[in-house]
Structure 1
Amino acid sequence: MSVTTTSVTATRPTFLLVPGAWHRPTCWAALQEALTADGRHSRTVALRSAGPQSTPTAGMYDDAEEIAAHLRRIEGPVVVVAHSYGGLPATQAVTGDSNVTHLVYLAAYMPMEGESLGAVHGQDGPAPGDEDVERTCPAVFDDPRTALYADLPEDRATHALGQLVEQSLRSFQQRVTRAAWRTVPSTYVLCERDQALPPALQEKMAARATHVERLATGHSPFLAAPAELATLLGKIASSASRAATAS
């Protein structure tokens, strides 16, 4: 279990950063530095379905439990920021947590009840309980460098690729049973040059969000444009705080 903590600003919400598939919490380092420079507090989650510590049976529900456990340890308001696959366990985990004031879907899956990652892409999955529990998969793209990091310089893309880990196949097959965005205000941050999660699919999911913002980046703005993303997240958090105070 990994938790990364930056400086605390008591009157501002904490950002809980949830990575996507194949990524470890260190992928958020540049963004956390930018958030710290803006006086923002952030923590990260190490998803159990990804990496050398994951077990063959770790899936989306395990990741949701990990997110919920982190939320229980944070005092005060929280803005959950989920990237890519991380949108599924975040959607599952956040329902009913009164400290979460806002959900941010960063080029992320924003599923309805009954959807898995595979189902979002129109793929039939196994029946509940029959998910593939013994397989992991590396990044499934023919060209991960272009899909995930097209707008990064070569040296930084090479470093990022070297940090990728395996992901349990089960995490892509399990279906959410709750959709937190139905009750928690949300913002979808659509990445317009994304080559991993097609912008057209992002547009479809973003229609479920309370607000939509756009970045002219590829799939990983936390690496390609961390300062710009930090500024946007600060704007979103400030708006969420004002809305919470008004209500």
Structure 2
Amino acid sequence: MTLTRPTLLFVHGAWHQPAVWDRLRAELDVLGYQSRAVDLPTSGPDARGGMPDDADAVRKEIAAIGGPVVVVAHSYGGIPVSEAATGLPDVEHLVYLTAYQLDRGESMFSFHGVPDPAETDGLIPISGDPREAFYGDLSAAEAEAAISQLVDQRLRACVGRVTEPAWRSIPSTYIICANDQAIPVPLQEKMADRATDVRRIESSHSPFLSRPAEVAALLDDIITSRG
């Protein structure tokens, strides 16, 4: 492990924005970590582009840090991270927090066995109840606050295919969220088989909101226990 403590770079999932990481980043501040959060262009009030544009945004943030980086991706965010970090020597470790750790030629849709739609130039709605899917272990008031911050998501992001996944050349940890209703545990376990290391947390899909101190401690352990 390097003597310089890495900066953590956080990459949000679909329908979310960088502020979703604020609670976790505050806990990491206490532990002495510097962190940044990427703003993915395919999510937002002015959602645009596709997965390659999100990967470009991740690359630019990594370059701006200019030193050792541990990238932490959530949900959809794992896809542009896998695409972006390949060949970047400053990236020391990848953390997939109930995230899509996809292989060559896979997209979110293909991983789920969903065919690409004929038209991808639009938005993708949230199916089902977002509280159940994303925020099952938040209080009703906290879940409503989180839901109020959800934004538009470009459909094109879901069909973008990974070319050369970074986890094939960079060590990675997969964090399985045992009560996740958005990405079922068997699918998480399938992707976790691709990681160098696997951890578990007893949470729903968004532990950075429901258990920020626990996630911060887990990330600290992942970083400090690397060989």
Band of TM-score, shorter chain: over 0.9
Task: Provide runs of 4+ in structure 1 moved above 4 Å.
Answer: none
| Residue number among 2, 27, 31 corresponding to 1:38 in the alignment | 31
CA distance in 2, matches of 1:154, 1:69: 37
Unpaired runs of 5+ residues, structure 2, are none
- Cα contact 2:120–2:156 (8 A) shared by 1: yes
Equivalence map 1:95-134=2 (5 Å): 95-125=86-116, 132-133=120-121
SS class of match (1:137):
coil
- Which amino acid is 2:149 matched to? Q
CA distance in 1, matches of 2:119, 2:42: 13
CA distance in 1, matches of 2:6, 2:171: 14
Total equivalences in the alignment: 225
The answer to whether 1:179 aligns with 2:168 is no
| Residue number among 150, 157, 166 corresponding to 2:143 in the alignment | 157
2:221 matched to which residue of 1?
A: 235
CA distance in 2, matches of 1:124, 1:11: 45
- Which amino acid is 2:160 matched to? Q
Unpaired runs of 5+ residues, structure 1, are 1-9
1:70: how far off? 0.6
The answer to whether 1:52 aligns with 2:45 is yes
Identical pairs, percent:
50
1:178: how far off? 1.3
- Which amino acid is 1:223 matched to? L
- Which amino acid is 1:21 matched to? A
CA distance in 2, matches of 1:92, 1:162: 30
CA distance in 1, matches of 2:21, 2:119: 30
- Which amino acid is 1:53 matched to? D
The answer to whether 1:205 aligns with 2:196 is no
CA distance in 1, matches of 2:209, 2:111: 26
- Which amino acid is 1:132 matched to? T
| Residue number among 99, 104, 125 corresponding to 1:138 in the alignment | 125
- Cα contact 1:138–1:165 (8 A) shared by 2: no
1:16 matched to which residue of 2?
A: 9
- Cα contact 1:61–1:89 (8 A) shared by 2: yes
- Which amino acid is 1:196 matched to? A
- Cα contact 1:148–1:196 (8 A) shared by 2: yes
Q: C-alpha deviations, 1:203-235, integer Å up to 9, x for none?
A: 010000000000000000000100000000011
